[in-house]
Amino acid sequence: MYRKTVLDNGLRILTSAMPHTRSVSIGFFVGVGSRYELDEQGGVSHFIEHMLFKGTAKRPTAREIAVAIEGIGGVFNASTGREASLYWAKVAQPHLDIAIDVLVDMLRRAKFEPEEINRERRVIIEEINLTLDTPDALVHLLINELVWPNHPLGRDVAGTKESLGTLDREGLLTYLKCHYQPSNTVVSVAGNVEHEAVVGKIGAFLGDWAMGEAASYRPAEDNQAEPRLRIHYRETEQAQLCLSVPGIPRDHPDRFKLRLLNTVLGEGMSSRLFTEIREKRGLAYSINSYVSAMHDTGAVGVYAGVDPRRIEDAIKAILAEWDRLRQESVPADELAKAKEFVKGRLLLQMEDSFSVAAWFGRQEVLSPEVLTVNEVIEAIDAVTVTDIQRVAQGLFLGERLNLAVVGPFEAGKGFRELLEL
CA distance 242 to 99: 40
CA distance 411 to 223: 24
CA distance 10 to 212: 9
pLDDT tens by residue, 289-342: 999 999 999 999 999 999 999 999 999 999 999 999 999 999 999 999 999 999
pLDDT tens by residue, 197-246: 999 999 999 999 988 887 789 999 988 999 999 999 999 999 999 999 99
**Fold equal for 3-206 and 228-418:** yes
Per-residue confidence band for 146, with pLDDT thresholds at 50, 70 and 90: very high
pLDDT average, residue stretch 139-145: 98
Residue 398: how many CB atoms within 10 A of its CB? 13
Active site residues: 49
Going from N- to C-terminal start, the domains of the chain cover: 3-206, 228-418
Residue 343 has pLDDT above 70, yes or no: yes
Looking at residue 137, its pLDDT comes to 97
Alpha carbon dihedral 383, 248, 34, 83, in 10-degree steps, equals -40
CA distance 140 to 402: 12
Residue 185 has pLDDT above 70, yes or no: yes
* Mean per-residue pLDDT over the chain, rounded: 96
Per-residue confidence band for 133, with pLDDT thresholds at 50, 70 and 90: very high
Q: Which helix (H) or strand (E) holds 300?
A: strand 298-306
Please give the model's pTM, rounded to 2 decimal places. Answer: 0.95
pLDDT average, residue stretch 97-108: 97
Residue 411 has pLDDT above 80, yes or no: no
pLDDT average, residue stretch 372-385: 97
- Report the chain's terminal Cα–Cα distance, integer Å: 44
Looking at residue 412, its pLDDT comes to 65
Long-range contacts of 142-145 (CB under 8 A, 24+ apart): 142/230, 142/232, 142/242, 142/404, 142/406, 143/230, 143/242, 143/244, 143/299, 143/301, 143/402, 143/404, 144/299, 145/230, 145/404
3-state secondary structure of 317: helix
pLDDT tens by residue, 249-264: 999 999 999 999 999 9
pLDDT tens by residue, 23-72: 999 999 999 999 999 999 999 999 999 999 999 999 999 999 999 999 99
Residues of the chain with pLDDT > 90: what percent?
A: 96
pLDDT tens by residue, 63-89: 999 999 999 999 999 999 999 999 999
CATH architecture of 3-206: 2-Layer Sandwich (3.30)
When the candidates are 3.60.150.10, 3.20.20.80, 3.30.830.10, 3.40.1190.20, the CATH number that belongs to 228-418 is 3.30.830.10
CA 346 to chain centre: 17
Q: Which helix (H) or strand (E) holds 99?
A: helix 96-109
Which residues are CB-neighbours of 38 under 8 A, at least 6 positions away?
Answer: none
CA distance 354 to 360: 10
CA distance 330 to 386: 8
